[in-house]
Chains A and B, each alone.
Chain A
């Protein structure tokens, strides 16, 4: 293969587009995470009405990340965004122990959704910068994550505020983009 054809090939290989769905309860930190991924200012965030979408280039992928508001009132709309999802990212406020049950229930319902069957799921145990945050292992146990058998999954502790752990999670996402079980 000549140099020219290598160059041509490099140029013509477009980034694979990946559809990522970012879900979780209100105040879990989804929008902060989205802005952190896009290297944007995170100091003026307000609760999400509807959704935000951003595209981020990473490791040869074009990640189209859909951040959907987590307010109870708009959770019924989540299903409108399930179609063609490559990876589900579920965000948990690790310091909000009072709502672990609620967030576990929402996650369980998502994993039962037909349109999301087999879709790899990354769980971000967010807000680890807070002293009161539960460690990822405790959350994994509380949510019975080890019983998930129909898809690849991972739990990653992170702080969307400081950025710690976010890249590790996204590396996992890029590795498992094509791991959807049919």
Chain B
């Protein structure tokens, strides 16, 4: 309760006066002090994001959700609004620009990922079909599909004889992730597929991949991936950064699963939760970067 009152007073009154007081001393605004006092990446960008979101100025509050091409305009507006002397602090504009790109970029990345997810897998779309077949060819270079509808799909871990019903709530995003992994880490994806066919510790490769797409998606949605992206990309992250994170998850999950030696696939969700907790713990470190 006391903590709550303190937080209320701090964010509504004390913070303002503290900032005013500090400005009188060193002639810098809070954004400048953050840029000076923290190293680039998540530590700095998180603080800038907080400062902007809680600003009394509309220009600053709006600067956390803008298009890539508006960034320079917003940097100039903030400099003007906060009466910052850029001659005295030359690094400031460059640093602020990166922060703004990262903050808005994360939001735009989510929208982009969301739009791919919302696109259902459509077997009447030749592009979708072609990519599904490409996934097969990359994973099974020595075996041809006998027909489009075939039990062979089970060999790469789909449930039945037509994968189209397995993408479900993840839509085309599920396939895009699996395909990105196979295209860019072909050897690794074949290795994982061979692990997934282990007689005792086996799992359904494609289904688990779609399930982990859901994990990556919900981590992105909740904001849990912010530190990771702020540390990794000094600008607007592209969708391939999300695919990259998926590759990390899938690769690490395979390692985790083999190490844990579960009794059977029926215990999947229990181990998935344990793995999920480990990932969330890693992501809570402000210096985190998770890559393959």
A44 within 8 A of B: yes
Q: Min CB distance, A67 to chain B, in Å?
A: 10
B72 within 8 A of A: no
Which chain A residue lies CB-closest to B217? A44
**Could you give, for residues 73-88 of chain A, a 1 whenever the CB lies within 8 Å of some chain B CB and a 0 otherwise?**
1100100100000000
Contacting pair B165 A51 (CB below 8 A) = no
Bound CA–CA A44/B265 (angstroms): 21
Bound CA–CA A46/B168 (angstroms): 6
Contacting pair A45 B169 (CB below 8 A) = yes
Q: How large is the interface on B (under 10, 10 to 19, 20 to 34, 35 or more residues)?
A: 20 to 34
**Could you give, for residues 252-287 of chain B, a 1 whenever the CB lies within 8 Å of some chain A CB and a 0 otherwise?**
000000000000111111101000000000000000
B245 within 8 A of A: no
Contacting pair B160 A51 (CB below 8 A) = no
Which chain A residue lies CB-closest to B271? A50
Question: Which residue in B159, B169, B170, B269 is a CB contact (below 8 Å) of A71?
Answer: B159
Contacting pair B266 A44 (CB below 8 A) = no
Question: Which residue in A26, A44, A50, A73 is a CB contact (below 8 Å) of B269?
Answer: A50
Contacting pair A49 B265 (CB below 8 A) = yes
Q: Which residues of B contact A50 (CB under 8 A)?
A: 265-270
Contacting pair B210 A47 (CB below 8 A) = yes
Q: Which residues of A contact B272 (CB under 8 A)?
A: 49
Interface SS of chain B:
helix
Q: Which residues of A contact B169 (CB under 8 A)?
A: 42-46
Q: Which residues of B contact A74 (CB under 8 A)?
A: 265-266
* A51-94 with Cβ < 8 A to chain B: 51-52, 70-74, 77, 80
**Could you give, for residues 10-46 of chain A, a 1 whenever the CB lies within 8 Å of some chain B CB and a 0 otherwise?**
0000000000000000110000000000000011111
Contacting pair B211 A47 (CB below 8 A) = yes
Bound CA–CA A33/B266 (angstroms): 20
* B213-243 with Cβ < 8 A to chain A: 213-214, 217-218
Tally the A-B contacts, defined by beta carbons under 8 Å: 69
Q: Which residues of A contact B208 (CB under 8 A)?
A: 49
Which chain A residue lies CB-closest to B214? A46
Contacting pair A71 B207 (CB below 8 A) = yes
Contacting pair B160 A77 (CB below 8 A) = no
Q: Min CB distance, B37 to chain A, in Å?
A: 39
Q: Which residues of A contact B51 (CB under 8 A)?
A: none
Q: Min CB distance, B166 to chain A, in Å?
A: 5
Q: Which residues of B contact A49 (CB under 8 A)?
A: 203-204, 207-208, 211, 265, 268-269, 272
Question: Which residue in B159, B218, B269 is a CB contact (below 8 Å) of A47?
Answer: B159
Q: Min CB distance, B228 to chain A, in Å?
A: 21
**Could you give, for residues 164-187 of chain B, a 1 whenever the CB lies within 8 Å of some chain A CB and a 0 otherwise?**
011011100010000000000000
Bound CA–CA A72/B160 (angstroms): 7
Contacting pair A47 B207 (CB below 8 A) = yes
Bound CA–CA A70/B166 (angstroms): 12
Q: Which residues of A contact B213 (CB under 8 A)?
A: 46
Bound CA–CA A46/B266 (angstroms): 15
Q: Min CB distance, B95 to chain A, in Å?
A: 37
Question: Which residue in A44, A51, A80 is a CB contact (below 8 Å) of B170?
Answer: A44
**Could you give, for residues 139-158 of chain A, a 1 whenever the CB lies within 8 Å of some chain B CB and a 0 otherwise?**
00000000000000000000
Bound CA–CA A46/B211 (angstroms): 6
Q: Which residues of B contact A45 (CB under 8 A)?
A: 168-169
Bound CA–CA A43/B168 (angstroms): 9
Q: Which residues of B contact A80 (CB under 8 A)?
A: 266
- Residues of B that sit less than 8 Å from A by CB: 154, 159-160, 165-166, 168-170, 174, 203-204, 207-208, 210-211, 213-214, 217-218, 264-270, 272
17 further contact pairs, Cβ within 8 A, besides A70-B159, A73-B154: A26-B159, A44-B169, A44-B217, A46-B174, A46-B213, A47-B168, A47-B204, A49-B272, A50-B265, A50-B269, A51-B266, A52-B269, A71-B207, A74-B266, A77-B265, A77-B266, A80-B266
- Residues of A that sit less than 8 Å from B by CB: 26-27, 42-47, 49-52, 70-74, 77, 80
Mind listing 8 A-B residue pairs with CB under 8 Å? A44-B217, A46-B174, A46-B207, A46-B214, A47-B210, A49-B204, A50-B269, A73-B154
A-B pairs, 7 with minimum CB distance: A50-B268, A49-B268, A71-B159, A27-B165, A44-B169, A45-B169, A26-B159
